[in-house]
Chain A
Amino acid sequence: MIIDTPEVQDINSFSRFEFLKETYGIIWTLIPIFTPVLGITIGVLVIVWLEREISAGIQQRIGPEYAGPLGVLQALADGSKLLFKENIFPARGETLLFSIGPSIAVISILVSYSVVPFSSHLVLVDLNIGVFLWIAISSIAPIGLLMSGYGSNNKYSFLGGLRAAAQSISYEIPLTLCVLSISLLSNSSSTVDIVEAQSKYGFWGWNLWRQPIGFIIFLISSLAECERLPFDLPEAEEELVAGYQTEYSGIKFGLFYVASYLNLLVSSLFVTVLYLGGWNISIPYIFVFDFFEINKTYGVFEPTISMFITLAKTYLFLFIPITTRWTLPRLRMDQLLNLGWKFLLPISLGNLLLTTSSQLFSL
């Protein structure tokens, strides 16, 4: 049997070309997924560094200084140390639940980054339920905490997990009501529409001025959702050793650490989007595009500027949670639940009622 060799080679090269094309297709679908993950990780490292530096400033210490210039690589060093540490499983604990718990906590927070807009076109998915998706997904995280608390076979962990679930359930309701009044004001719950509704009057068009009560409630309940210090009862050191993280070591402990900072970053991004005008420059009489004389519709310049503005607002806002953490003492558990159910919930309901009636009268 004689086969014409050049023809076979042609076919081979053609199939290889097809294969390459498919690989390129897969790579092009994966790049938009992995770039935000990389960016978010860098953002978390920046927050950890900021927290160390600011806390050092507040307590009149020096803070990290050896790892890299100004200690910027300190978080990376901590992370790699955690990666190399031994994974210890508690005796007679439920190993499966113990392993799945931290990953559920991280994944549920990572997914909610998909609706955060960095520019009018720089958003993973522009759903018409945008903010609602964030609320829904962040309600899964307590399941992971309950899992890890139960799987550790430790009373302290179990109590910590129960406390975390109770806290995040009770503070989610005022948070949702605040988001609901914002979406009433901008007639949409898509994050892109919410930012565009605030773009009219520059600095004075922010939702912060139209919803001052809502902003304060959102701030308090997002701190409680992130389990940051005035509300860090699930891991209160004096009572519960370390709460649901007591038995964890190595990278699983690191995952909890990452999850709390991811949650902090996403909630301050949502503060920026919902209350602080998102990607708009917000200073009247300064038009960046006239200044640089660059066509607005062309190129990557506009998304870059928008992303820079969003991130600048977010990190400036982050100073408030971080300084709060190192200033205020911790609440007691009954004080926490009383604050949530008897104070924040009625006030946010009243805020929603006021917003609804003003929207009705303005029709």
Chain B
Amino acid sequence: MDLPGPIHDFLLVFLGLGLILGGIGVVLLNNPIYSAFSLGLVLVSISLLYILSNSYFVAAAQLLIYVGAINVLIIFAVMFMNGSEYYKDFNLWTVGNGFTLLICTSIFGLLITTITDISWYGIIWTTRLNQIIEHDLISNSQQIGIHLSTDFFLPFEFISIILLAALIGAITVARQ
């Protein structure tokens, strides 16, 4: 969306806050139901961030797949759990938790160092040039289609075969 500067910044900060608070909520909330719903908040704010950066197709796909399908299924699964016993004896510091903390902090540090190392201006200018070359007449979703059927044809076919196999497997499991 081409918004004026201050509104754009405000929305960016707002959505980023939603993202971070939702992420913290997923980890820290005691009731797994609340965690699942705050995961939904995280996914919705990611898709709104995509809308803010003009990529509507990715935003709609994110909403449809992650929020509409995956998050609803997660909520379904969590609701069938007997939640009350799960968080009564909740111990924050076990060996597994320490191990997870180590991995997460190392991934975080790695990401921070890579983000600061990359020269973002170079990337911005190459993408701008590519956009000019791929002339603006073709819409965003059409560009995605063209790329999927030329450059990324093999991965696309592989993914569709995997999905087909999963579909058939689900049908056989459901019929038993």
Contact = CB atoms under 8 A, between A and B. Distances in A.
Pairing of A with B = yes
Interface of A: 94, 97, 127-129, 132-133, 135-137, 139-140, 142-143, 146-147, 150, 158, 162, 165, 169, 172, 189
Interface in B47-65: 56-57, 59-61, 63-64
B72 interface: yes
Nearest to B57: A129
A172 B68 contact: yes
A136 B64 contact: yes
B60 A146 contact: no
28 contacts: A94-B33, A97-B33, A128-B56, A128-B140, A128-B141, A129-B56, A129-B57, A129-B141, A132-B57, A132-B64, A133-B56, A133-B60, A135-B64, A136-B68, A139-B69, A140-B67, A142-B68, A143-B37, A143-B40, A146-B76, A150-B79, A158-B79, A162-B76, A165-B72, A169-B68, A169-B69, A172-B68, A189-B141
A262 to B, nearest CB: 18
B75 interface: yes
Nearest to B1: A125
A140 B44 contact: yes
B75 A146 contact: yes
A170 to B, nearest CB: 11
A128 B58 CA distance: 12
A106 to B, nearest CB: 16
The 8 closest A-B pairs by CB, nearest first: A139-B68, A136-B63, A136-B64, A128-B139, A136-B60, A132-B60, A129-B56, A133-B60
B45 interface: no
A94 B61 CA distance: 31
B79 A137 contact: no
A139 B67 contact: yes
Contacts, number: 63
B37 A97 contact: yes
A352 to B, nearest CB: 15
B60 A129 contact: yes
Nearest to A190: B139
Residue with the greatest number of chain B CB neighbours at <10 A, chosen from A136, A169, A189? A136
A137 B56 contact: no
Q: Is the interface of B mostly helix, strand, loop or mixed?
A: helix
A135 B72 CA distance: 15
A268 B154 CA distance: 40
Interface string B63-87: 1100111011001100100000000
A165 B71 CA distance: 12
Given A97-B33, A128-B139, A169-B69, 11 more contacts: A129-B60, A133-B56, A133-B60, A135-B64, A136-B61, A136-B64, A139-B69, A143-B37, A143-B67, A165-B75, A189-B141
A136 B140 CA distance: 17
A291 to B, nearest CB: 37
B69 to A, nearest CB: 7
A102 B33 CA distance: 17
Given A146-B79, A172-B68, A140 B56 contact: no
A59 B68 CA distance: 39
Contacts of A189: 141
B63 A162 contact: no
Nearest to A128: B139
Contact of A147 (B37, B63, B76): B37
A127 to B, nearest CB: 5
Contacts of A136: 59-61, 63-64, 68
A158 B67 CA distance: 20
A277 B118 CA distance: 51
A143 B78 CA distance: 13
